A and B are shown apart, each in its own frame.
Chain A
Amino acid sequence: MTTNKSVENGVNTQALLDAREALSQQPAGAQFKWRATCKWINGTHSRSSIEGFHGLGAEQKHKTEFTFDADHPEVFASEDHGATPVELVLSGLGSCLMAGVASVAQLRGIQLRSVTAKLEGDMDILAILGADTDARNGFNNIKVTFDIDADAKPDDIKALVAQSQKRSAVYDIIANPTNITVAVA
C-alpha cells in the first residue's frame, strides 16, 4: 500500500495497515469490548464515564477517564444539564464517519483542509411519549451532510465519504439490527 508522504492528516496509516495484517493472523486479539458506565444524577440528568476497554487480548485504558453528561432540554421540562442521548448518538455517528474520512483520505493521499459534517435526525416524539404506538421511538431518518475542502476531485471526495460509511462502526450499528440484552444485576 502506498501512502503519500506529502499528505498529512494526522493519521498513522502505516500503524493501521500493520494492525490489519497482525490481527488477521491473530484474530483473537481483534475481539474488543467497549464499555461505558452511566450513573443517574437527578431527574433526566445522568453522567457516563468511560475509561477501560478490552482488546488485543488484554485490559486497556484510555489516557484519562472521559465523562459525558446527558439530559433533556427545558421544553421537555428538564434542566438541560447536557445533550440528549439521541444527540450523543448523532455525535457518535459524526465522529465515527469523520475518523473514517481522515483515515481514508490519508491512505488515498488526499490532503484535507477542513471537514464539517452536519447531522440531523428526524423523530416523532409521540412514540416516546406513549401517545402513538405505531410510531417508532427512534429516528425515522438520519441525514448527514459533509462539507469538505480538500485537494481532490469532487468524485474522489464523494468516494472518501462513501468508503468511510462502509467502514464505520456507528453507521453499521444504526443501519443494521443489533441484539441488546438489558439485565438487572
Chain B
Amino acid sequence: MRTTTVVIGAGHAGLAMSRCLAERSIDHVVLERGEVANSWKTERWDSLRLLTPNWMSRLPGYGYEGDDPDGYRTMPQTIAFIERYAERIAAPVRTHTTVISVRCCDGGYEVATDQGVWQCRTVVLATGACNLSSVPACAEAVPPTVSTLTSMQYRHPSKLREGGVLVVGASATGIQIADEIQRSGRPVTLAVGEHVRAPRVYRGRDIQWWMDAAGIFDERYDEIENIARARSLPSIQLVGSDERRTLDLNALTCLGVTLVGRLAGMRDGKTQFSGSLLNMCTLADLKMNRLLDTIDAWATDNGLDGAVDPPHRFDPTRVDASPLLGLDLQSGEIRTLIWATGYRPDYAWLDVPVFDLRGRVRHDGGVVDSPGMYVIGMPVLRCRRSTFIDGAGNDARDLSAHLASCLDNPNALR
C-alpha cells in the first residue's frame, strides 16, 4: 500500500495533523493500534478528569461546544470529544492496526503493520509521550508481599487491598491517586521528589486561564533556556473537579497523608527516602510564587486589577521537622505500592537512527532528524502549549506546512 504520509496514532495530535494534511490535500492515513483515543480509553484511572478547562481544547476546525467552558472533562467526555473530532474531520483512520516497524526505504519510509505494509514519503509520530510507565530500577527489590502497580494500571481504590499504600511520585498523577486512596480509608504515604505546585484558581480565575492569557503557554521551544529540562518537568499538581479545588501537598497533609522524601533506594525490604523533602517543597513554593508574581505583573500591565480578586499568596508547604527516612515494607503496614513516577514514549518499533544518547528522538520543534519525519503531541514540542490538547493545533499547522514544503522540494526528502 502506498500513501504520501503515514500518521501513527489517532489521538488528538494525530487527528489534528490529519486535519491539516487534508486541508493541504496531502494523501495520508492515520494508523491506530486500538481505537480513536485509545490511551484515554484503556490507560487512565476511573476518576481522572482533564487538568485543563473545557475551553482549552481548541483544535483545527473543532473545539468545545458545550455550556460549561470552565469545567473539566471526565474520561468518557474526553473520549467522546476526540471521537467526535475524528468523525467531524472524517479522518482516514485505520483502527486495530499496530505498527511493527518503521524503517527507511527508497524515497521515504516503509511502515510495517499487522495489517500490511505502507510505503510513504513522510511519516508523523503521534503516539504520545505516555506509552510506558517509568519505574525506577529499585522496583525489583520490592518484597513480593507488597502488591505493586503503576499509575497506568491503577483504576480505583476499591480494587486495592485494605491497608497502607505507598504512592511514589507527587506530580498531578501521584497527588490525585494519593487523595482518593486516602479518602477510601487506606492510609497513604506519599514519596515526594521534584514537583510543580500551583493553585487551581488564583484571583478568581483558573490558573490555566492566567497562563494562557499572560502568554506563558506561547513561549517557544527555541526561546526556553533549558529545553531538555522543560520537557522533562513533572506535570503541575492539579486536579479537575466541579468545585475547582486546589489539591496540593498541604491539602493531602490535612487529609492525613504522610509526606516523605523521594524514594532513593530499597535495601533489605526497606525503602530509603531522601532527606531532601524540605528543599523539594521550598523549590516548588518559590517557583509557584514566581509564577504568581508574573501573573500579577501581567494583570496590572493589562488593567485587570479591578476586574479580578486582589493578589495573595498561599501558605508554604508544611513539612515535618524529621520526615520518615525509611519504611519496612515487610512489616505489613504497606500492602500496596503505586509507581506514579512518570511516563515515557515507546519507540521500540522505530528502526530509524534518530535517537540521542538517552533514547529520546532527536528533533527540532517536531522536525525529526531524518528527512520527512515528524513528531507531534509531546510536552513543550514547539511551545509550552504543546503539552496540552490545546497545543496540537498550532503544532500541526506548523509541521504540516514544513512537511508540505518538503514534498515540494524533493531534495528535502529521502
Instruction: Name B274's contact: one of A27, A141, A158, A176 (CB within 8 Å).
Output: A176
Further 14 A-B residue pairs, CB within 8 A, beyond A140-B322, A155-B286, A159-B290? A1-B225, A158-B282, A159-B283, A166-B279, A172-B276, A175-B261, A175-B264, A175-B274, A176-B264, A176-B265, A176-B274, A176-B275, A177-B264, A177-B267
Candidates A27, A163, A171; contact of B357 at CB < 8 Å: A27
Partner of B282, one of A162, A171, A174: A162
Q: Is A13 an interface residue (CB 8 A)?
A: no
A140 to chain B, nearest CB (A): 8
Give, as a whole number of angstroms, the nearest-CB distance from A25 to chain B: 8
State how many residues of chain B have any CB contact under 8 Å with chain A.
18
The A149-185 residues at the B interface (CB cut-off 8 A) are 155, 158-159, 162-163, 165-166, 171-172, 174-177
Give the CA-CA distance A140 to B272 in the complex, in Å.
15
* Chain B contact residues, CB within 8 Å of chain A: 194, 225, 261, 264-265, 267, 272, 274-276, 279, 282-283, 286, 289-290, 322, 357
Q: Are B265 and A177 in contact (CB under 8 A)?
A: yes
- Which of chain A's residues 68-90 have a Cβ closer than 8 Å to chain B? none
A175 touching B275 in the complex, CB below 8 Å, given contacts A1-B225, A141-B322: yes
A171→B264 CA distance, assembly (Å): 13
What count of chain A residues pass the 8 Å CB interface test? 17
Q: Which residues of B contact A165 (CB under 8 A)?
A: 276, 279
Chain A proximity of B12: nearest CB distance (Å): 32
Q: Which of these, B265, B272, B286, contacts A159 with CB under 8 Å? A: B286
Across-interface contacts of B276 in A (CB, < 8 A): 165, 171-172, 175-176
Q: Tell me the complex Cα distance, A163–B276, Å.
A: 12
Q: Across the two chains, which residue of chain B brings its CB closest to A165?
A: B279
CB neighbours of B283 from chain A (8 A): 159, 162-163, 166
Which residues of A lie under 8 Å from residue B267 when comparing CB positions? Answer: 177
Bound-complex Cα distance A174 to B325 (A): 12
> How far apart are A141's CB and chain B's nearest CB, in angstroms?
6
Q: Among the interface residues A1, A163, A174, A176, which one has the most CB atoms of the partner chain B within 10 A?
A: A176
Please, how many angstroms separate the alpha-carbon atoms of A176 and B265 in the complex? 8
User: How near does chain B come to A83, taking the closest CB pair, in angstroms?
Assistant: 23
Tell whether, in the assembled complex, residue A174 and residue B264 are in contact, meaning their CB atoms are under 8 Å apart.
no
CA distance A172 to B274 in the complex (A): 8
Q: How far is the CA of A171 from the CA of B267 in the complex (A)?
A: 21
Tell me the complex Cα distance, A149–B383, Å: 37
Kindly state the separation between the CA atoms of A155 and B225 in the bound complex, as whole angstroms: 21
**Separation in Å of the B235 CB from the closest CB of chain A?**
19
User: How far is the CB of A144 from the nearest CB of chain B, in Å?
Assistant: 10
B272, A177: Cβ atoms under 8 Å? yes
The interface residues of chain B lying within 8 Å CB-to-CB of A174 are 275
User: Please, which residues of chain B bring their CB within 8 A of the CB of A1?
Assistant: 225
- A99→B134 CA distance, assembly (Å): 33
Residues of B within 8 A of A27 (CB): 357
Contact between A176 and B272, CB atoms less than 8 A apart: yes
